[in-house]
Amino acid sequence: MTISESDASLVDSTGTDTIVELRDTSVSFGMDRGESRVLNEVNIDIERNEILGVIGESGSGKSMFASALLDAVPAPGTTTGDVIYHPEDGDPVDVTGLSKSELKQFRWEEISMVFQGAMSSFNPVRSVRTHFVETLSAHDYDVDAGIERAKDLLEDLYLEPERMLESYPHELSGGMKQRVLIALSLVLEPEMLVMDEPTAALDLLMQQSIISLLNEIQEKHDLTIVFITHDLPLVADLSDRLAVLYAFEFAEIGPADEILERPAHPYTRALLNATPNLSAPLEQMRPIEGESPDPVNIPPGCSYHPRCPLADEQCKSIDPGPYDAGDSRNHDVYCHHWEQSIDDLERAFTESNSDDSPATRNASHSDDAEPLVSLEDVEVQFGSENDGWLDFGESDVVTAVDGISFDIYENDVVVLVGESGCGKTTLGKTAVGLQRPTDGTIEYKDRDIWKGSSGSSTLEDEEIRRALQIVHQDPGSSLNSHQRVRSILSTPLNRWHPDLDGNDRRERILAMLEYVGISPPEDYIERYPHQLSGGEKQRVALIRAMLVNPDLILADEAVSALDVSLRVSIMDLMIELQDAFDTSFLSVSHDLSNARYLAEKTGGRIGVMYLGELVEIGSAEQIIQNPQHPYTQALRWATPELEQDDDPDENPIRTIDVPDQKNMPSGCRYHTRCPDARETCRTQKPELVDLSNEDGVQRTACFRVDDDHEYWDSEPITDDAVDGDEDDDHVNVSG
Amino acid sequence: MDWRIRRLGQSVFTVWAVMTLTFVLTRFMPGNPIDYFLVEVGPDLDDPAQAYEMAELYMNINPEDPLYIEYYDYMTAFMQGDLGRSMSMNMPVEEVLAIAIPWTLFVMSWAVFLGFTAGIAIGAVMAYWEGGKFDTALTGYATIITSIPFYVLALVLLTIFAYRLNWFPTGGRQPEGVEPGFNFLYLTGIVHHAMLPVFSMFVTSGMAALTMRGNSIRVLGSDYLRVARLRGLSDPTIAIHYVARNAILPMYTGLMIAIGSMFGGAVVLEEIFVYRGMGWYLIEAVRARDYPLMMGAFTVITIAVVIALLIADLTYGKIDPRAGGENREAF
């Protein structure tokens, strides 16, 4: 049963021009366990020429929502309900009722789609031009005119049309492929573009650049864009309206600024609070308790009630219909208590979370403290040099880490950030002895960790091996899928605490599970990894590392694979465990928001890496609030914020794409992209300069921090001087 | 250095290394051609010592020379295009090979050609109806049949169709009593003789079908196929340019290796059917410790495989743009 105060919102509202309306649209899959509803009777009107941001965690049904718009749900799924498309002139079209050939015409000509996997959206053996040509001819479009249009589109996306068309997919970088895919989806001039996580696989800087381009494209081509993502801050700025999906239903739909400032649904509010970002005070960030429901067993009533602090009997039995919230007519919220939610939620939160969030502490270290792990001029090269006539391989050396020195202290947290390929993971693995450096030394408590293990890739000293541990990015593949939690967790105990007998071990594991919030532990200890949720798996992986009593744990993107709402809770857990077990964390992340949360809460440091070098390292506050290196400033710019920014800053990079690692730029490696680069940067290499003051520690490798440097007298590098190759992706996004 | 030149250099090196190894290994086999000759000829002669002299005279070798001198002599002759003289056949090795190779290629190319075409077609159909009855039945069949060695099947076929039913000859490579040449009787006779060997090789080659099935299923689940369908491409375009091409690509190297190994023939197969091709002569050569023929046969096989791989390497970039011009190897 559905009750609703504002049925008016379902009627095609006057004044607005609807392009697609969904009425009671469901997508379901028949499964052994029963029917799985992955989209549950949703209603929404998408307006012409708007950008609608659809936000949902993984498994919220957001990809199914995208597919349903084109009636493209993969078999054996079925779409029921109405999907009605309103052409600009002509009669409405019932998309689900179209025949196969009508559907073929409708897709791509009226509504087209961009997938997450741009990397794999192209046929690897056909050139980009062929992709355009076959699309045009399949729809009986004029090929020559279509190719001209494609060239215009590519040019609008700051790509070189001719070169792109002649390329094969593998010759393009991820960001280029994604832009070509956008051009391909627009070549038939559709009215609407559905984008399903289009930037999820891209680096921060590329992601932000594409988002800026989308705005221009949308205006130029009068497009309606549906942008689907798990990353709320990413679309916050871009969208006109936001729709929040939870458990296969919409929780809230409304204008973007209203949703961001006055979220009416408790879930939206919780999601906003759970999303790590750069500006909000840390105390405001809290995890959402509990897990999303299973599509086979959607709770009756409001599907959010098991996790909602405001839930009462009404929520458990009655499905909330859309209520009009806020000032504007088109803000719908699916919650019985939305008015209360706006006022009371803060209190509800404070009660449930009063004392289990660890307080911010300060782990700053005086210079004379003994480092736990000390890296000195570490260099890691991959590939091999051609070393003789029997070696037929070409000299093929990539320097992943190039002369980095830093110290990690006891109870310390260091977070390495940078774009993919900058060497942050390699440096991390080197620091914990999983990768042998080609040059330089790593010392653990003044002992060289590679001493005595000549030529082998494992550490000789077992004590050091125990002290340095790792937690991987994807808990799904780092836990043995054929072992129960019990045996996964007892392996480290058997190895390092052979004196414990079976009962002691079991007791200890149970206690640990309980400690990290997995209960009842007696139930979980007999489970296999696939019977755990993502968050639980990562907790088990954390415990496994902790059980050997390590001194330093490398957390390699430990929260990146998790849902937004779980990230904060896992990071809180890491901080708590760090306190309890007296360990240090070396964390690797591509996301400045996560890095900030972890480092600021523990008083740790953030290290920014670029092409194998450490360009800036310092306390979280200094790196976020007062970045000195232009690259850190660019990362800061690229990290999306949870607020609508009416005056976007100018893009602080000159070229989007990272230079080729086999052909490193001379001097300062960032000079090819740096907006402030001058001739000096091309020839001289800046060293890390200590800028620490009372606000925190900070070391930066840039000439600009030295007021007397000859840099200030040299000529600025203009873009014409940059090599042709690197000019290809020149982007001047502004305003 | 251009990677093609380097690849060529690698190939030459491989051929030399295999030849050297073969040369040394054959000489370490127990027995030698003289002993074989003595056993064959000796009892007919009054004086065994005379046989020894005859052997040296006929076979023109000096078994007393140290290995490295023999090796040096052989390699010098080889560079000049002289493979030596077969002791057991009593004619130049080149001639023996020239007689044997066409027959082997005839049988093997049919077996490989039929095996791959049928395998690709059946594999594609199996993938299309993945999980269906046809797929389940054929997967089971292919798995079982692939694990049966072809010579076991050959013996069964030979017993039934040749000895019992007399439908096919029990051995040989050409009809007897027919004038060799381009006449109907002779050509049908050749086909008739080749049928059982080809069939026993073909039936046991279920691997291609299984590989094709796996590859196709992988492609069918790929993102680009889904995008292609959404883009409204026609079904034939999708089937040929999207699924088939991407599924067959990884099998290309396998096909080239199969073509290269054809020259070696199926040694046991030719022995069973007394089919006088490379395999049959090779076994004869081993039996007679006929060093030059052994060396010649092994060298031809080696060179054929190496050249096939070289071609695979050089052409892979043409059919798969991802491998083009890069420092990559196809296998």
Spans of all domains in chain B: 93-282
Quick check: A138 and B223 CB within 8 A?
A: no
User: Across the beta sheet with A613-619, what order do the strands follow?
Assistant: A468-471, A552-556, A584-589, A413-417, A605-610, A613-619, A698-700, A689-690
Single out the residue of A422, A391, A389 nearest to residue A635, CA to CA: A422
Residues of B in contact with A138 (CB under 8 A): 231-234, 237
Q: What is the DSSP string of A557-586?
A: STTTTS-HHHHHHHHHHHHHHHHHHT-EEE
Angle between helical axes of A128-138 and A174-186 (0-180°, round to 10):
20
Q: Say what the pLDDT of residue A52 is.
A: 92
Among B3, B10, B246, select the one facing A125 at the smallest CB separation: B246
The beta-carbon neighbor of A134 closest among B237, B245, B249 is B237
Work out the number of other CB atoms within 10 angstroms of the CB of residue B56.
15
Burial of B38 (0-12, 13-18, 19+ CB in 10 A): middle
Contact at CB, B223 and A113, closer than 8 angstroms: no
Q: Give the closest residue to A556 by CA, choosing from A569, A574, A572.
A: A574
Percent of chain B at pLDDT > 70 equals: 87
Q: Which of residues 206-235 of B touch A (CB under 8 A)?
A: 222-224, 226-234
Cβ–Cβ under 8 Å, residues A640 and A233: yes
Q: Please indicate if any CB of chain B lies within 8 Å of the CB of A70.
A: yes
Give chain B's radius of gyration (CA, Å).
24
Whether the predicted pLDDT of B275 surpasses 70: yes
3-state secondary structure of A34: strand
Q: Which residues in chain A have their CB less than 8 angstroms from residue B319's CB?
A: 125
**Quick check: B9 and A392 CB within 8 A?**
yes
Lowest mean pLDDT among A229-233, A540-544, A691-695: A691-695
Does B4 contact A at CB distance below 8 Å? no
Distance, CA of B272 to chain centre: 16
**What confidence tier does B101 reach under pLDDT thresholds 50, 70, 90?**
confident
To the nearest whole Å, the CA of A541 is away from the closest chain B CA by: 31
pLDDT digits (tens, 9 = 90+) for A510-526: 988 888 888 788 888 88
- Report chain A residues whose CB lies below 8 A from the CB of B229: 72
Which one, of A107, A128, A108, lies nearest residue A118 by Cα? A128
Characterize the bridge pairing of strands A249-255 and A332-333.
antiparallel
Two tokens, residue A39 = 């989209």
Report CB contact under 8 Å: B223, A124: no
Q: Residue A46 above 70 pLDDT?
A: yes
Mean pLDDT across the stretch A375-390? 72
Q: Is A206 helix (H, G, I), strand (E, B) or coil?
A: helix
Q: How many helices (H) and strands (E) does chain A have?
A: 25, 26
Please answer yes or no on whether A168 and B322 come within 8 Å at the CB atom. yes
The CA–CA distances, whole Å, from A654 to A177, A623, A631, A701, A726 equal 20, 22, 11, 19, 9
Contacts of A393 in chain B (CB under 8 A): 327
A contact residues 178-197, partner B, Cβ 8 Å cutoff: 184
pLDDT band at A357 (very low <50, low <70, confident <90, very high): very low
Task: Tell me whether residues A120 and B224 touch, CB distance under 8 A.
Answer: yes
Residue A499: both structure tokens together:
């004196």
Residue of A nearest to B221 (CA): A74
Opening angle at CA A85, ends A83 and A86, nearest 5 = 145
* Distance between A112 CA and the closest CA of chain B, angstroms: 8
A682 burial via Cβ count (<10 Å: 0-12, 13-18, 19+) = middle
Q: Which one is predicted more confidently, A696 or A123?
A: A123
Quickly state the pLDDT bin for B54 (edges 50, 70, 90). low
**pLDDT at res. B21:** 92
- Name the minimum distance, in Å, from the CA of A392 to any CA of chain B: 7
Residues of A in contact with B320 (CB under 8 A): 124-125
Q: What is the chain B residue with the closest CA to A170?
A: B322
Tokens (6 digits) for A291: 């897990």
Q: B93-282, which class in CATH?
A: mainly alpha
Residue A141 and residue A139: Cα distance in Å, rounded? 6
pLDDT in tens, B197-253: 888 888 877 888 888 888 998 888 888 888 898 888 888 888 888 998 889 888 888
Between β-strands A439-444 and A373-382, what pairing exists: parallel, antiparallel or unpaired?
Answer: antiparallel
Residue contact B3–A107, C-beta within 8 A: no
Residues of chain A contacting residue B221, judged by C-beta atoms under 8 Å apart: none
Q: What is the 3-state secondary structure (H, E, C) of A39-61?
A: EEEEEEEEECCCEEEEECCCCCC
Alpha-carbon distances of A61 from A26, A78, A250, A269, A408, rounded to whole Å: 10, 14, 10, 19, 43
DSSP A356: -
Please enumerate in sequence order all residues whose Cβ is within 8 A of that of A421, keeping only pairs 6 or more positions apart, or say none: A658, A661
CB A123 to CB B242 under 8 A? yes
Number of H helices, E strands in chain B: 16, 2
| Mean pLDDT value across chain A | 81
**Domains, chain A, with CATH or none:** 2-9+18-110+190-351 (3.40.50.300), 120-189 (no CATH)
Question: SS3 string of A451-494?
Answer: CCCCCCCCCCCHHHHHHEEEECCCHHHHCCCCCCHHHHHHHHHH
Nearest to A88 by CA among A184, A190, A219: A190
Cα dihedral across residues B176, B180, B186, B192: positive or negative? positive
Best CA proximity match to B55, nearest among B69, B67, B39: B39
pLDDT digits (tens, 9 = 90+) for A386-404: 555 544 555 567 788 888 9
pLDDT at A396: 66
| Cβ of residue A132 closer than 8 Å to a chain B Cβ | no
Query: Residue B42: is its pLDDT beyond 70?
Result: no
The pLDDT, as a whole number, for residue A386 is 55
Looking at per-residue confidence, does A116 or A209 come out higher?
A209
**Is B8 an 8 Å CB contact of chain A?**
no
CA distance A312 to A295: 22
- Which residue type sits at A233? P
The tokens for A394 are 């070409």
- Establish if B253 touches chain A: CB-CB under 8 angstroms: no
B295 vs A471: CA distance, rounded Å: 57
What angle (nearest 5°) sits at the alpha carbon of residue A275, between those of residues A304 and A267? 15
Residue numbers in B near A127 (CB within 8 A):
321
Residue position matching structure tokens 């609508």: A644
Span A60-75, mean pLDDT?
85
pLDDT at residue A301 in the model: 83
Q: What tokens does B272 get?
A: 């069973």
Query: Is B230 in contact with A392 (Cβ distance < 8 A)?
Result: no
pLDDT confidence bin for A729, thresholds 50/70/90: very low
**For residue A666, how many other CB atoms are within 10 A of its CB?**
12
Give the Cα separation of A194 and A252 in Å (integer): 19
> Number of CB pairs < 8 Å for A and B?
74
Higher pLDDT, B307 or B81: B307
What's phi and psi for A78, nearest 5 deg? Answer: -125, 145
CA distance A341 to A356: 23
Q: Determine whether the interchain pair A135/B10 forms a contact, defined as Cβ–Cβ distance below 8 Å.
A: no
Q: Check CB contact of B241 with chain A, cutoff 8 Å.
A: yes
User: Using CB atoms, which residue from B3, B231, B242 is nearest to A135?
Assistant: B231
**Whether the bond into B292 is cis, omega within 30 of 0:** no
| First-residue to last-residue Cα distance in chain A | 48
The predicted pLDDT at position A648 comes to 54
Chain B partners of A70 at a C-beta cutoff of 8 Å? 230
- In angstroms, the CA A434 to CA A426 distance is 9
More confident call, B231 vs A9: B231
Q: What is the mean pLDDT of residues A538-567?
A: 85
Cα(A513)–Cα(A177) distance, rounded to whole angstroms? 44
- pLDDT tops 80 at residue A116: no
At B309 the pLDDT is 87
Q: Produce one character per residue of A642-662: b if its CB has 16 or more CB atoms within 10 Å, e if not.
A: beeeeeeeebbbbbbbbbebe
Q: Which of B1, B223, B249 sits opposite A120 (nearest CB)?
A: B223
- Contact assessment for residue A557 and residue A415, using Cβ atoms and an 8 Å cutoff: no
In angstroms, rounded to a whole number, what is the distance separating the alpha carbons of residues A85 and A111?
A: 9
Considering only the beta carbons, identify the residue of B222, B233, B237 that sits closest to A120.
Answer: B222
Cβ contact A256:A272 at 8 Å: no
Mean pLDDT, rounded, for A45-72: 87
Task: Name the DSSP letter for residue A110.
Answer: T
Closest approach of A459 to chain B, Cα-based (Å): 33
Shortest CA distance from A134: residue in chain B: B233
Q: Given an 8 Å threshold on Cβ–Cβ distance, is B231 in contact with A125? A: no
B121 shares contact with chain A (CB less than 8 Å): no
Q: What percent of chain A has pLDDT over 70?
A: 87
Cα-based angle B154, B155, B156 (whole degrees, multiple of 5): 90
CA distance B320 to chain A (A): 6
CA gap A634, A96 in Å, rounded: 45
The residues pairing with A447 across neighbouring beta strands, listed in sequence order, are: A444
**Residue A392 near residue A363 (C-beta atoms within 8 A):** no
A594 touching B (Cβ < 8 Å):
no
Classify the C-alpha dihedral A305-A309-A312-A315 as positive or negative. Answer: negative
Which pLDDT value is given to residue A353? 45
Beta strands in chain B (DSSP E): 85-86, 91-92
Question: What is the nearest CA distance from B309 to chain A, expressed in angstroms?
Answer: 16
Residue of B nearest to A70 (CA): B230
> Which of A95, A123, A135, A390 would best serve as a mutation to test chain B binding (most B beta carbons within 10 A)?
A123
Q: How far off is chain A from B257, nearest CA to CA, in Å?
A: 22
CA distance B134 to chain A (A): 20
Task: With CA atoms as reference, report the closest residue to A69 among A39, A99, A90, A49.
Answer: A39
Question: Measured between CB atoms, which of A120, A125, A139 is closest to B321?
Answer: A125
Give the model's confidence band at A132: pLDDT under 50 very low, under 70 low, under 90 confident, else very high.
very high
Whether the CB-CB separation of A637 and A656 falls below 8 Å is answered with: no
- What is the average pLDDT across B14-25? 90
Q: In whole angstroms, what is the distance from residue A374 CA to residue B56 CA?
A: 76
